[in-house]
Structure 1
Amino acid sequence: MTLLIGYVPTPVGEAALEAGFAEAAARGDDVVIVNSPRRGATVDADLVDTAADAALVARASAAGVKARVDHTDHRPDLVSAFEALVASTGARLIVIGLRRRSPVGKLVLGSDAQRILLEATVPVLAVKPSA
């Protein structure tokens, strides 16, 4: 089977990556690391380059996991992009990282992570960084 890991190069993304690699290694799954540009962004600091892609795949390999990086453009909707990848890969699980947000921030701004948790058609493993 396959796991999808939502990844950005931040502590939150690293937490998702580590949890996803551990889950995939334990179950013998392949991994698709999803790193896509933000909506409307022409330049995005969270988008990793080809050298970082290779490093991520090497980290997965060191963890005993076969992986590839997907840079699907999620305009206009991140949840739809994840659902399309679930359909095309047959993924059984989505792994995402969560960051700390105030209750007001959650109410006013909404959250792609929250929408993935509520709307995904497969189980979602949500993790937080340790620090």
Structure 2
Amino acid sequence: MKSGPVALRGAMDAALHPLHPTVPQYSCLGLLGQRPGLSGAELARGVFVTRQSMNVVLRGLEERGLVTRPATAPHGRELPTELTSAGRDRLDAASSAVLAIQQVMCAGLTPARQLALLETLALCIRNLSTDS
């Protein structure tokens, strides 16, 4: 039996494969959908990859016309990244595929148990987010 993270990653890889984003690319698109204009360094932190890995992710997304970055930085060295309309469309399609995984993953949980799970995960996130 696979561990939770391995099973989830495998399911996400399989669902996203026909749409062609990898899980890190999907995570990057999702983060940009929520917070447009993030730099590569900010995206790397948000997606839990190295800056070097994020540069590869961004180059791939940019080559496919899903994100855009200016040729020169408007301030300092950081290049703000934005979704293109094609990127938004791909994010919407990928999000639907991931939502289907969530529905399968939560099958059999009552609404009350789903709420308890979300509250527990939110508490875990808060615990990790607090400055000690």
* Superposition TM-score, scaled by structure 1 size: 0.30
Kindly indicate which of the two structures has a greater share of residues assigned to strand.
1
Kindly indicate which of the two structures has a greater share of residues assigned to helix.
2
Task: Select the structure of larger CA radius of gyration.
Answer: 2
